[in-house]
Chain A
Amino acid sequence: MDNFLEFERPIEELSAKIDELERVSQTQNIDLGNEISKLETRRQKVTQDIFSSLDPWQVTQLARHPMRPYTLDYVGLTFDGFQELHGDRMFADDRSIVAGIGKFDRWNVALIGHQKGRDTREKLRRNFGMPKPEGYRKAQRVMKLAEKFNLPIVTLIDTPGAYPGIDAEERGQSEAIARSLSVMTGLRVPVISAVIGEGGSGGALAIGICDRLIMMEYSTYSVISPEGCASILWKNADKAPEAAAAMKITSADLKRLGLVDEIVQEPLGGAHRNYERAAAHLNASLVRHLEEVSNMTTPELLGKRYERLQSFGEFQSAK
Chain B
Amino acid sequence: MSWFERLIPPKIKVRSALNKRSVPEGLWHKCGACSAVLYGTELERTSQVCPKCGHHMRLSARERFRTLFDEAEFTELATSLQSTDPLRFKDSKRYKERLSDAQKESRESEAVICAHGRVAGSELVAVAFEFKYMGGSMGSVVGERFVRAVDHALQTQTPLVCFIASGGARMQESILSLMQMAKTTAALNKLHEAGLPYISVLTDPTMGGVSASIAMLGDVIIAEPKALVGFAGARVIEQTVRETLPEGFQRAEFLLEHGAIDMIVTRDQMCSVIAGLLKILAPSSGRSIEGELVF
Contact = CB atoms under 8 A, between A and B. Distances in A.
A169 to B, nearest CB: 5
B183 A202 contact: no
Nearest to B179: A312
B175 interface: yes
A26 B187 CA distance: 67
B80 A312 contact: no
A312 B177 CA distance: 9
Contacts of A169: 230-232, 237, 249-250
B182 interface: yes
A240 to B, nearest CB: 12
Interface in B221-249: 229-233, 236-237, 240-241, 243, 245-246, 249
B216 A223 contact: no
A205 B182 contact: yes
A104 to B, nearest CB: 25
Nearest to B192: A182
A166 B241 contact: yes
**What's the dominant secondary structure at chain A's contact region?**
helix
Interface stretch (A66-74, A245-253, A290-298): A245-253
A194 interface: no
A162 B233 CA distance: 12
Given A223-B174, A313-B180, A246 B216 contact: no
Contacts of B173: 223, 313-314
Contacts of A254: 175
A178 B82 contact: no
Given A172-B260, A174-B231, A249-B175, A164 B240 contact: yes
9 contacts: A166-B237, A221-B178, A223-B173, A234-B92, A235-B92, A259-B175, A309-B182, A315-B81, A316-B84
Interface in A246-297: 246-249, 254, 257, 259
Given A169-B231, A178-B216, A315-B140, A202 B182 contact: no
Interface in B170-201: 170-171, 173-183, 185-190
What size tier do the contact residues of chain A reach?
A: 35 or more
B211 interface: yes
A257 B249 contact: no
B90 interface: yes
B54 interface: no
A209 interface: yes
Contact of A246 (B81, B90, B183): B90
B49 interface: no
A201 to B, nearest CB: 6
Interface stretch (A3-11, A17-25, A44-52, A225-233): A225-233
B176 A314 contact: yes
B169 A223 contact: yes
A195 B256 CA distance: 36
A173 B140 CA distance: 24
Nearest to A167: B241
Interface of A: 162-166, 168-175, 177-179, 181-182, 185-186, 201-202, 205-206, 209, 221-224, 228-229, 232-235, 242-243, 246-249, 254, 257, 259, 305-306, 309-310, 312-318
Contacts of A249: 174-175
Nearest to A173: B231
Contacts of B237: 164-166, 169
A174 B143 contact: no
A223 B189 contact: no
Interface centre among B92, B174, B176, B214 (most CB of A within 10 A): B174
A209 B80 CA distance: 29
A314 B231 contact: no
Contact of A318 (B82, B144, B177, B250): B82
B258 A233 contact: no
A214 to B, nearest CB: 15
Nearest to A181: B185
A179 B188 CA distance: 11
B156 interface: no
- 4 closest Cβ contacts across the A-B interface? A164-B232, A313-B140, A312-B179, A177-B212
B182 A318 contact: no
B240 A185 contact: no
A193 to B, nearest CB: 11
Interface in B113-140: 139-140
B17 to A, nearest CB: 32
A87 B252 CA distance: 29
B231 A316 contact: no
A153 B236 CA distance: 32
A248 B175 contact: yes
Interface string B253-264: 000001110000
A206 B185 CA distance: 11
Nearest to A186: B189
Given A169-B237, A221-B175, A312-B183, 19 more contacts: A164-B232, A164-B240, A165-B232, A166-B243, A173-B231, A178-B211, A181-B181, A201-B209, A202-B181, A223-B174, A234-B91, A309-B186, A310-B187, A312-B179, A313-B144, A313-B179, A314-B176, A315-B82, A318-B81
